Amino acid sequence: MKAFVVDKYKKKGALRLANLPEPEMRNEDVLVQVRATGVNLLDSKLRDGEFKLILPYRPPFILGHDVAGIVVRAGRNVRRFKVGDEVYARPRDHRVGTFAEFIAMNEADVAPKPKNISMEEAASIPLVGLTAWQAMVEVGKLKPGQKVFIQAGSGGVGTFAIQLAKHLGAIVATTTSAKNVELVKSLGADLVIDYKTQDFEKVLSGYDLVLHSQDAEALKKSLRVLKPGGLLVSISGPPDPEFAKEKGMNLFLKLVIRMLSRGVRKKARSLGVRFSFLFMRAQGQQLSEITSLIESGAVRPVVDKVFPFEKTGDALAYVEAGRAKGKVVITVAD
């Protein structure tokens, strides 16, 4: 099969198109022919080596964390899927690799593809959809009438999170640039802040939940817009001790991560609010719930641009430039 490979960790390093054997299957796996794959900043950060400590991959490895495609083989213990099923998924860590013609995945990570959208649209959903779901439903326990601040509303996570928060009955504030105000309003944002001309800390107060995806300065400000007892869920760091515990890290890494997040945890305590780091995980059952939301019309995919497979490197560079509205997708096979 053809696949785009990272030969070594290198900032903005080129991906190499290689001919590789089809992935080895386990008894609980489905082998999926990749029809489309989404591109995420996580891909470039992995290639650059930013996550070597907490998420090591041994080069050469294949990037890619979103897939939509067709089951072409099923392991002997697979019960939920059969050959010919249209599916989508975010493969679990250490088994990623959707910048390829085929991928083998544990069936627990896979969900039926929504029937009312294309393969390209479906491929835009898993990572950002699961991130928003785990941040707001699982960790944030967002309730109707609560106020949520979602940073970077026109980005991949933001466009999905705004829609999910509105479906949950929340009041939604977000940041974006002036040119994207109408987009985020059309997704359900109640209050839109132009980050180039306004300081969100001076506009927002008394929020129940913040979905943080920006830099350390925005993190400090975001803690101050929460009401007492409010929660900030960060998907951009720093990782916290709970994350290190979940990942089963050794004592040295636990200590490093404790030190990395010490300042923000101390600040949160002093303000009477809570801080939590989220590194989203593969979860087929949650993705099935998202399928239902898409098929009901509660949530729609937002795709900025579709690249052909041979332009995978260009697609990654476009995402790194930070100007995409919603998601960037690669068509792998017709």
Both 265 and 141 in one domain: the answer is yes
Both 263 and 325 in one domain: the answer is no
pLDDT tens-digit map of 132-155: 999 999 999 999 999 999 999 999
Decide if pLDDT at 29 tops 80. Answer: yes
Both 32 and 117 in one domain: the answer is yes
> Tell me, what's the pLDDT at 334?
75
Decide if pLDDT at 53 tops 90. Answer: no
Which has the closest alpha carbon to 123: 333, 273, 271? 333
pLDDT tens-digit map of 212-256: 999 999 999 999 999 999 999 999 999 999 999 998 999 999 999
Look at residue 69 and tell me if it is in a domain: yes
pLDDT tens-digit map of 174-202: 999 999 999 999 999 999 999 999 999 99
Both 220 and 147 in one domain: the answer is yes
Both 134 and 35 in one domain: the answer is no
Number of structural domains in the chain: 2
Decide if pLDDT at 298 tops 80. Answer: yes
Both 88 and 131 in one domain: the answer is no
Look at residue 209 and tell me if it is in a domain: yes
Rounded to whole angstroms, the Cα distance separating 30 from 109 reads 10
Per DSSP, the residues of 78-96 read --S--TT-EEEE-PPTTS-
What are the structure tokens assigned to 251, written together?
Answer: 């004592």
Q: Where are the beta strands (DSSP E) in 40-130?
A: 61-62, 67-74, 86-89, 102-106, 110-112
Rounded to whole angstroms, the Cα distance separating 2 from 19 reads 5
What is the mean predicted confidence (pLDDT) over 28-51?
Answer: 97
Residue 188 φ/ψ region, left for φ over 0, alpha for ψ in the -120 to 50 degree band, beta for the rest: left
SS3 103: strand
What is the mean predicted confidence (pLDDT) over 60-81?
Answer: 98
Strands 191-194, 207-212: pairing kind: unpaired
> Tell me, what's the pLDDT at 333?
84
User: Which CATH number does the domain housing residue 231 bear?
Assistant: 3.40.50.720
Both 244 and 310 in one domain: the answer is no
Look at residue 288 and tell me if it is in a domain: no
> Tell me, what's the pLDDT at 107?
98
The one-letter code for the residue type at 140 is: G
Q: Do the Cβ atoms of 40 and 129 come closer than 8 Å?
A: no
Both 69 and 92 in one domain: the answer is yes
Both 115 and 139 in one domain: the answer is no
Burial bucket for residue 89 (CB in 10 Å: 0-12, 13-18, 19+): buried
Tokens 């929504």 belong to 114
> Tell me, what's the pLDDT at 119?
98
Decide if pLDDT at 1 tops 90. Answer: yes
Q: Do the Cβ atoms of 36 and 119 come closer than 8 Å?
A: yes
pLDDT tens-digit map of 254-293: 999 999 999 999 999 999 999 999 999 999 999 999 999 9
Decide if pLDDT at 330 tops 80. Answer: yes
What is Dmax (Cα atoms) for the chain? 58
* This prediction's pTM: 0.97
Cα torsion angle, 316, 320, 324, 327, sign: positive
Rounded to whole angstroms, the Cα distance separating 109 from 332 reads 20
What are the structure tokens assigned to 107, written together?
Answer: 């069936």
Both 323 and 265 in one domain: the answer is no
For 200, the domain range is: 127-277
Q: Do the Cβ atoms of 193 and 170 come closer than 8 Å?
A: no
What are the structure tokens assigned to 149, written together?
Answer: 């601040």
Rounded to whole angstroms, the Cα distance separating 262 from 250 reads 18
Task: State the chain's mean pLDDT as an integer.
Answer: 97
Q: Do the Cβ atoms of 304 and 327 come closer than 8 Å?
A: yes
Decide if pLDDT at 124 tops 90. Answer: yes
Residue 151 φ/ψ region, left for φ over 0, alpha for ψ in the -120 to 50 degree band, beta for the rest: beta
